[in-house]
Chains A and B, each alone.
Chain A
Amino acid sequence: MSELLEIDNLETILHTGKEPVRAVDGLSLKISRGETFALLGESGCGKSMTALSIMRLLPDAGEILAGSIKINGSDLLQLPEIDMRTIRGKHISMIFQEPMLSLNPVLTIAEQINEVLKRHFNLTPEAAQTRILDLLNHVGIPDAARRMHEYSFQFSGGMKQRAMVAMALAGEPELLIADEPTTALDVTIQAQVLELMRQIQQRNHMAILLITHDLGVVSEMAQRIAVMYAGEIIELATREDFFAHPAHPYSHQLFASLPKKQKRNQALAVINGNVPSLTQEFIGCRFADRCNKVTDICYQSKPQWQTITPHHQVRCHLFNKDSTLATNNPFPKTPEKNENIAVVDPISAATLPKTNNALLEVNDLKVHFPIHKGFFRRVVGHVKAVDGLSLKISAGKTLALVGESGCGKTTVGKSILQLINPTAGSVRYNNQELVGLKRKELRQMRSEFQFVFQDPYSSLNPRMRIIEILEEGMNALNVDTNDQENTNQQPSAFSREQEINDLLQRVGLPIETKWRYPHEFSGGQRQRIAIARALAVNPKLLICDEPTSALDISVQAQILNLLKSLQNNLGLAFLFITHNIAVVEYLADEIAVMYLGRIVEQGHIDEVTNHPKHPYTQALLSAVPQIEQTPDQKIIKLAGDLPSPAAPPSGCHFHPRCQHVMPICRKSYPQTSVFSPTHTTHCFLYTQEQSSSDHEH
């Protein structure tokens, strides 16, 4: 196999701030024709900078210092800019992470694809139109002849990413660089796009450089894998080798920090700290500070490439044959990887007596947002974000609310807290009705339930110091922690500052941090602060809205461990809103699957994940990329996207995308089907309960 792309010792720096950031520092890799090569790494490792260096599309602050990038043997870095334009699109093309931002909203899809064609082919306008139509059909856009003349905002997220793929394919490139192509998409859409990329690769015999942080995606797509850390590649292997015997301690720890169902009763392994700053000059191994296998030599000299098998190389002193440290196999190939990992205090499940009384009961909750139109802003319709939702959380338990983006998950969370006024229904906390309470009355209840937000970057006021952020809730609610029995504090005179110190320690931050501003912290630390803020008022119920989706895998593990230990120590109940099934399986006791404002299936975590009943749950679970691939695993493909909640389909909301659709599905919404006292679903495939047995709990 000839090499298509050869990168040799690439060095890219970014001139930001006082010292240059070595974003890519001596990176070498080879990609053959027709193969999928995955570049895996946490954010801030230089993955995207590598991709932009290949395209020579670095930002103004970026500069390639050394190295060569050869495509078919010709060095791209020697080419003048004008020749580069024939390379881009024709030989290499790129798909970006955010499909919403990478299409121009004032040009139609056809016009945008035509730009590529005009540049690289000498086509008549008619031939170009036919070609565009071919391309769009190729990527599976339904009714392409009509839709090609539409604008990007008329496309849904998945369709936009398909259009992006079509645009990238227009020049018939030999290499497609996909920079986190599915990160912004839902799992069901992600499955569609990944499948499409796989098909196209096979058909066109095109190489793909897949840049991602998602091990599941890598496992499904890649043939060869390079793990990138702090600007350099630290491990290079085929997929089989990598997933069977990862060599580098970083890869090991990454696997160990993945949340899984099997790890439910133990803490996740965490990689301490963050990716080191790339402004510094590295003397030893870049991972040394966070490595659990670290030895003195790691700090003293840079590890060189060590070959384990011809297709598996690693940059680690542990594999150095000449070194005294060398052992034949530093990582005994045992399934219990966790022994190698610094496990934070193992958590035994159910250490606290848990009551079975429902702490929170939501009945038939509806949140409708009116749509205004015209000069007099008449209400012409409603967006039914939440449309008759019921759920129940017991004290000290975790309920996961799962669903695609846009199905109303976050609205549920906010309307439970009365941040959004529900249109109808009831929210009862400890048998006290919250809906319709006045601001003042509600204020006394506020300390009982708190919210942890998705984005730790926007959930902390940048102008307030940590101490002020933590104090705010205490002051507003006049919390007196001394009479709380769950906190292990002495009942004597503790100042507020002491409480804040305790809080910070509880979430694992040094006390001195309280004098800082939020921007001085990393994402994971910010999320800890956000959790500390919520805990400051001693809540019993914490609503977590995708608290880990903005974080890297290793940091996610830290936060999940924290949440789990808080639950065990303080007896908190969680409503965990997420789209990440792996996190749910690790953390949740119960799960509720939401589709278009309604819960379609609800039950104990094992019941639902092992025996999903509703076709949507089945599809959702199957679409999650798996690392350990089972031969019988088949992705249930869902056609199309989530319909608009302003005009939900008649009958069962899921019927336009359902494989088992029956005539009755179009007519009426299915009643509850009960499988066990806890497991229920709404689907006509199963025996329907009578409407009288609605209150089956």
Chain B
Amino acid sequence: MPFDPVILWTDALIYLLAVIVLCFVWHVHKNEHLLSPWRRVSHSASGMSALTVLLFFIAIGLLDTVHFRTALDHKNNHNETIYDAEVLSILDVLVTPLRTNVEKTYSAPLATHLYAKETLDLPDGTRVRAFARLEFGGAHLQHPEIERKPDILWRTTIGIGYGLLVWSILVAYLCFIQARRSQQNFSQCLTAIWRRKTEVPWYAILITLAIILSLIGAACMLATHYHVFGTDKVGQDVLYQSLKSIRIALVIGTLTTLIMLPFALLLGIMAGYFRGWVDDVIQYTYTTLNSIPSVLLIAAAVLMMGVYIETHPELFETIAARADLRLLFLCIILGITSWTSLCRLLRGETLKLREMEYIQAAHAFGVSHWRIITRHILPNVMHIVLIATVMDFSGLVLAEAVLSYVGVGVDPSMMSFGTMINAARLEMAREPMVWWALMAAFSFMLTLVLSANLFADAVQNALDPRVRTLSHESTILRHSKKKPISTTTKTTRRS
């Protein structure tokens, strides 16, 4: 076999999460009444644009999750294939030039020369201090001073062109599908999309897609011959680092929440619902946990883990496995320390809800506690969970950065936004300043967190039945007098 699949701990958990999400999607798809609020999500322009961006991030994250080890050419004594010690992912293979084109040290984005002067031996034997040419960046240019700018422009244009070509194929395909589904002809569909008359805001999605695809196209064309975001201290491509960091951010953001949610949901709702001694115990637990400085707790736990890892090297086949366990442990520790605030929120909300008359009515029917919790309380606190989760997502990505700064974050061999930002601390203090690493980390993180926030906003708006407008067919009934909502369907005529 030319490669050996490797499933790291976090990979397994991500696969589990993906399976859960797919099951949920399948379940929602089967039930019409569950599907209808999600349809409303698909009608929100900002939400769908954000989802488009998010999908690209998730795709990169998933590509980076499929790990394997390649086989080496030679075989060992027992004629078994020996695999490389380095664990690669599909993403690594896809961006091989980025991974392997390593310079000596810092270089600015799209530069042809290093960012620092060094002593060069000229062919005539003299030595000068000058900016050396990069080994890979712009290496194909004979006269970089003259040729660089036209070359970059040309490549960018070509890249955008390719991006837009892919985009137009996608648009055509979409129109084709739409036309088949709605039994219209092709041009009718295209005009409908163009005039924003479709229910799903394809216009907004396609605009977003056009921007992303032309950016990707340009980056692809440039990245083969330049370092688009420059290189870092050891000459590694910053774009590659940023792409690798996406997985770490997604893992920390989602797995931590996955670990934290059961605690927060179960304990928070139990405390609020049962009151009495259950409430006392849970409250004292989280108050105690909250009064320990969380950085201290995390530092202690991670250091203990570090010692354990150091003393048991035989447990880990590769460096990646070791780094991965450390990442997983960081997620667990972050999860354990961050459930308290959500738990407190949920307890308060449950205290309010348990006095609601519909809960009392359920009691009057003799409905069991478990059923009341799952059927009545849980759906009514889900919006809080959703908001808190997304707000935590960005917080957790930042927490990782803070912890890396203290030295208890992810393994130094791992690339993450945290380690990039931490490195930027020294780079910003340097003269002349190295700004591109921070800039890249910042823009990737901003895009990721912003699109997650926007999407969550759209989901929350659609899932909360209280802010929903009436459906079209409800003409038999007069609308609620408290909230005069129009039943007419003039919305589609808006242009």
Q: Is A187 an interface residue (CB 8 A)?
A: no
A523 in the interface (beta carbon within 8 A): yes
Chain B interface residue bracket vs A: 35 or more
Contact B371 A476 (CB under 8 A): yes
**Residues B464-487 near A (CB distance < 8 A):** 465-466, 468-471, 474, 476-487
- A236-278 near B? 1/0 per residue, CB < 8 Å: 0000000000000000000000000000000000000111111
| A476 and B481 contact, CB distance less than 8 A | no
Are B360 and A419 in touch, CB under 8 angstroms?
yes
In the complex, whether B131 has a CB less than 8 A from a CB of chain A is no
Residues of B within 8 A of A512 (CB): 476
B484–A476 CB distance below 8 A: no
Q: How far is the CB of B358 from chain A (nearest CB, A)?
A: 4
Cross-chain contact A419 with B480 (CB below 8 angstroms) = no
The A493-517 residues at the B interface (CB cut-off 8 A) are 510, 512-513, 515-517
**Structural contact, B481 and A43, CB atoms closer than 8 A:** yes
* A273: chain B residues within 8 A (beta carbon): 478
Q: Is the CB of A446 within 8 A of B482?
A: no
Q: Once bound together, how far apart are the Cα atoms of A464 and B363, in whole Å?
A: 16
A460 CB-CB contact with B under 8 Å: yes
The reply to whether A463 and B465 contact each other, CB–CB distance below 8 Å, is: yes
Residues of B within 8 A of A459 (CB): 356-358, 360-361
Closest to A543 in B: B364
Q: Are B358 and A458 in contact (CB under 8 A)?
A: yes
A629 within 8 A of B: no
Is B362 located at the chain interface by the 8 A CB criterion? yes
B380 and A16: CB pair below 8 A? no
A523 touches B363 (CB 8 A): no
**How distant is B319 from chain A, measured CB to nearest CB, in Å?**
48
Q: Is B480 in contact with A520, judged by CB distance below 8 angstroms? A: yes
Do the beta carbons of A455 and B366 come within 8 Å of each other?
Answer: no
Q: How far is the CA of A60 from the CA of B307 in the complex (A)?
A: 61
| CB-based nearest B residue for A279 | B486
Q: Which residue of A472, A515, A520, A534 contacts B367 across the interface (Cβ within 8 Å)?
A: A472
Q: How far is the CA of A517 from the CA of B485 in the complex (A)?
A: 15
Which B residues are in CB contact (< 8 Å) with A203? none
Question: In the complex the two chains form, is B477's CB within 8 Å of A519's CB?
Answer: no
Asked whether B33 is an interface residue with its Cβ less than 8 Å from the other chain, the reply is yes
CB < 8 Å neighbour of A510 from B465, B476, B482, B490: B476
Q: In angstroms, how far is the closest chain A Cβ from the Cβ of B465?
A: 5
Contact B486 A520 (CB under 8 A): no
Within the complex, the shortest CB–CB distance from B490 to chain A, in Å, comes to 7
Residue B375 interfacial (CB < 8 Å): yes
Considering the complex, give the chain A residue whose CB is closest to the CB of B33: A465
Closest B residue to A467 by CB, please name it: B33
Which chain B residue lies CB-closest to A445?
A: B366
- Chain A hits for B376, CB < 8 A: 461, 464
> Is A537 among interface residues, defined by CB-CB distance under 8 A?
yes
**B361-A451 in contact (CB<8A):** yes
Q: For B491, list chain A residues within 8 Å (CB).
A: 18
> Is B365 positioned at the interface, with any CB of A under 8 Å from its CB?
yes
- Tell me the nearest residue of chain B to A19, going by C-beta: B486
- The residue on B at minimum CB distance from A539 is B364
A residues within 8 A CB of B476?
Answer: 510, 512
Instruction: Return chain A residues, CB-CB under 8 Å to B358.
Output: 458-461, 469
Cα–Cα distance between A451 and B361 once the two chains are bound (Å): 7
Q: What residues of B have a CB within 8 angstroms of the CB of A520 in the complex?
A: 470-471, 474, 477, 479-480
Chain A residues with CB under 8 A of B479: 277, 520, 522
Among A43, A278, A463, A523, chain B packs the most CB atoms within 10 A around the CB of A463
Distance, CA A605 to CA B360, complexed state (A): 30
A546 to chain B, nearest CB (A): 11
List B contacts of A465 (CB < 8 A): 33
B362 near A472 with CB under 8 A, answer yes
**A439 within 8 Å of B (CB atoms):** yes
Is B379 an interface position by the 8 A CB rule?
Answer: yes
Task: Given A476-B366, A520-B470, answer yes or no on A453-B480 (Cβ-Cβ < 8 Å).
Answer: no
B465 pairs with A462, CB closer than 8 A: yes
> Within 8 Å of chain A (Cβ to Cβ): is B368?
yes
Write the nearest CB–CB distance from A33 to chain B, whole angstroms: 35
Contacts of A461 in B (CB 8 A): 358, 375-376, 379-380
A274 to B364, CA, bound (A): 31
Q: How far apart are the CA atoms of A523 and B362 in the complex, in Å?
A: 20
Q: Is the CB of B33 within 8 A of A453?
A: no
Contacts of A522 in B (CB 8 A): 478-482
Interface size on A, residues (CB 8 A): 56
Least CB distance from B396 to A in Å reads 28
**Residues of the B chain whose Cβ atoms lie less than 8 Å from the Cβ of A476:** 362, 365-368, 371
Check A462 against B486 for contact (C-beta < 8 Å).
no
**B221–chain A nearest beta-carbon distance, Å:** 46
Tell whether, in the assembled complex, residue A533 and residue B361 are in contact, meaning their CB atoms are under 8 Å apart: yes
A439 to chain B: which residues have CB within 8 Å?
366
- B379 and A513 form a contact (CB under 8 A): no
Does A131 sit within 8 A of B, measured CB to CB? no
The winner among B367, B368, B466, B481 for most chain A CB atoms within 10 A is B481
A-contacting residues, B349-398, CB 8 Å: 356-358, 360-368, 371, 375-376, 379-380
- The CA-CA distance from A461 to B367 in the complex, in Å, is 14
The closest CB in chain A to the CB of B463 belongs to A463
Complex Cα spacing A275 to B481, Å: 7
Enumerate chain A residues within 8 angstroms of B356, measured Cβ to Cβ. 458-459
Q: How far is the CA of A459 from the CA of B474 in the complex (A)?
A: 22
Contacts of B364 in A (CB 8 A): 417, 419, 446, 450-451
In the complex formed, the residue of A with least CB distance to B368 is: A476
Q: Report the minimum CB–CB distance from B351 to chain A (whole Å).
A: 15
Query: Of A463, A477, A525, which is within 8 A of B477 by CB?
Result: A525
Interface positions of A from 526 to 575, Cβ below 8 Å from B: 530, 533-534, 537
Asked whether B486 lies within 8 Å of A510 as measured between CB atoms, the reply is no
B486→A453 contact, CB < 8 A:
no
A473 and B366 CA atoms in complex are apart in Å by: 8
A573 to chain B, nearest CB (A): 16
A537 touches B365 (CB 8 A): yes
Query: Which residues does chain A contribute within 8 Å of B357, judged by CB atoms?
Result: 453-455, 458-459
Say which residue of A18, A453, A510 sits within 8 Å of B361 (CB atoms): A453
Chain B's closest residue to A417 (CB) is B364
Q: How far is the CA of A522 from the CA of B479 in the complex (A)?
A: 6
Of residues 415 to 446 in A, which have CB atoms within 8 Å of B's CB atoms? 417, 419, 439, 442-443, 446
**Residues 378 to 425 of chain A near chain B (Cβ within 8 Å):** 414, 417, 419
C-alpha spacing A512/B471, complex, angstroms? 13
When distances are taken between beta carbons in the complex, the residues of chain A under 8 Å from B474 are: 516, 520
Cα separation A537 to B358 with both chains bound (whole Å): 16
Kindly identify, within residues 325 to 365 of chain B, every residue whose CB is under 8 Å from any CB belonging to chain A: 356-358, 360-365
- For residue A125, CB closer than 8 A to chain B, the reply is no
Closest chain B residue, CB of each to CB of A456 = B357
Give the CA-CA distance A462 to B482 in the complex, in Å: 15
How far, in angstroms, from A520 to B477 measured CA to CA in the complex?
8
Minimum CB–CB distance from A379 to chain B (whole Å) comes to: 14
CA distance in complex: A537, B479 (Å): 29
Q: Chain A residue with minimal CB distance to B382?
A: A463
Residues of chain B within 8 A (CB-CB) of A457 are 482
Q: A277-B487, A522-B479 are in contact. List 20 more A-B contacts (CB 8 A).
A: A16-B484, A17-B486, A18-B486, A19-B490, A44-B484, A274-B478, A275-B481, A277-B484, A442-B366, A443-B366, A453-B361, A460-B358, A461-B375, A464-B375, A472-B375, A473-B367, A515-B33, A516-B474, A519-B468, A530-B361
List 12 interface pairs A-B (beta carbons < 8 Å), by A numbering.
A17-B485, A17-B486, A18-B486, A18-B490, A19-B486, A277-B479, A419-B363, A458-B357, A459-B358, A462-B380, A513-B477, A516-B477
4 residue pairs, one from A and one from B, having the closest CB atoms? A459-B357, A443-B366, A473-B365, A453-B357
Partner-B contacts on A (CB < 8 A): 16-19, 21, 43-44, 273-279, 414, 417, 419, 439, 442-443, 446, 450-451, 453-455, 457-465, 469, 472-473, 476-477, 510, 512-513, 515-517, 519-523, 525, 530, 533-534, 537
Which residues of B line the A interface, CB within 8 A?
33, 356-358, 360-368, 371, 375-376, 379-380, 465-466, 468-471, 474, 476-488, 490-491
